[in-house]
Structure 1
Amino acid sequence: MAPLRSRRLIPPLLLGMLTLASSAIADEAALVVVMHAGAGIETLTRDQVINIFLGRFRKLPNGHLAIPIDQDSDHPMKAEFYRRLVGKNPAEIRAYWARLIFSGKTAPPREAKSEEQMIEWLMTQPGAIGYLPTDRLREPLKAVFTLDQ
């Protein structure tokens, strides 16, 4: 009986750990959508950010190619970003992209394997756009949109 009982505890424990990780991000600094300061973009609207990250727009307002970058699928910041941006959980975002990929209409954002890789891509790729907690923002990156809790 003991092994069966411990198996029943695993999903609630995992859910609790994910909730704590997500809460830790929510309690931290606000999430900001960031780009290289030299990209020529001062600010973006919520609709523009949604359209870029959901594959509806592939161009920035200045006409340059937009390269949206997500955190890794398992990173709690990705879940928090989409919850704040469009009110969707990771499963809903995966289903959304599965439909679009199947239809051949667009491709999902690139996924950085780490926060450091995202920062590197943002610093070196023109048109790259990602998201970070405000306390990770550094030169030459700049916030173009803030996601409130």
Structure 2
Amino acid sequence: MTLTAATATVMAAEVVVVVNPKNAAPQMSSEQAAQYFLGKSTALTPVDQPESSSIRGEFYKKLADKEASQVKAIWSKLVFTGKGTLPKEYGSSADVKKAVAADPNLIGYIEKSAVDSSVKVVATLP
């Protein structure tokens, strides 16, 4: 497999939005999930992946048709005006999954291939 093919495979990974299995959150649309990740709802606390990760850019593009830098600007404004707190950043999908599995109030995103019984998928972003 060439490097280009390997990169394409990684970029084409399905991204899922996950919560703790104890969380009563039902399946949600991209628009509903976006409410948490764009600071419009505080019912769940979003957690993020590193700015440098390819999944972060892919997630925000699929979720809200926004670049990660646009989302960062939205959060910066919320923080500056006292209306929000930046989502905590975790180093990898494994770290996000571990955090979400430990806290019913968190919502995060990981590669679909990383899903196991420790988290519940509430949205899939093809």
Q: Which has the higher helix share?
A: 1
| Superposition deviation, residue 41 in structure 1 | 1.9
Aligned to 1:3: none
Aligned to 2:23: 39
CA contact (8 A) 1:22 1:80 kept: no
| Superposition deviation, residue 53 in structure 1 | 0.7
Aligned to 2:91: 113
CA contact (8 A) 1:33 1:132 kept: yes
Looking at structure 1, the residues matched to 84 and 101 of structure 2 have their Cα atoms a distance apart, in angstroms, of: 24
Structure 2 residue runs of 5 or longer lacking an equivalent are none
TM-score, with normalisation over the residues of structure 2? 0.86
Structure 1 residue runs of 5 or longer lacking an equivalent are 1-18, 60-65
1:80-106 CA-partner distances (Å, limit 9, x unpaired): 000101111122122222222221211
Looking at structure 1, the residues matched to 123 and 87 of structure 2 have their Cα atoms a distance apart, in angstroms, of: 18
Looking at structure 1, the residues matched to 7 and 83 of structure 2 have their Cα atoms a distance apart, in angstroms, of: 31
Looking at structure 2, the residues matched to 129 and 21 of structure 1 have their Cα atoms a distance apart, in angstroms, of: 29
| Superposition deviation, residue 70 in structure 1 | 0.7
Aligned to 1:6: none
Aligned to 2:82: 104
Corresponding residue SS for 1:146: strand
Q: Paired residues, what number?
A: 123
Aligned to 1:16: none
Letter in 1 for 2:52: D
| Superposition deviation, residue 27 in structure 1 | 2.1
TM-score, with normalisation over the residues of structure 1? 0.74
| Superposition deviation, residue 141 in structure 1 | 1.2
CA contact (8 A) 1:39 1:127 kept: yes
Which of the pair has more CA radius of gyration?
1
What does residue range 1-149 of structure 1 map to in structure 2 within 5 Å?
23-28=8-13, 30-59=14-43, 66-148=44-126
Looking at structure 1, the residues matched to 66 and 92 of structure 2 have their Cα atoms a distance apart, in angstroms, of: 22
Mean alpha-carbon deviation: is it higher for 108-117 or for 138-147? 108-117
Q: Identity of paired residues, percent?
A: 28
Looking at structure 2, the residues matched to 23 and 77 of structure 1 have their Cα atoms a distance apart, in angstroms, of: 13
1:18-44 CA-partner distances (Å, limit 9, x unpaired): x9887443323x111011221122312
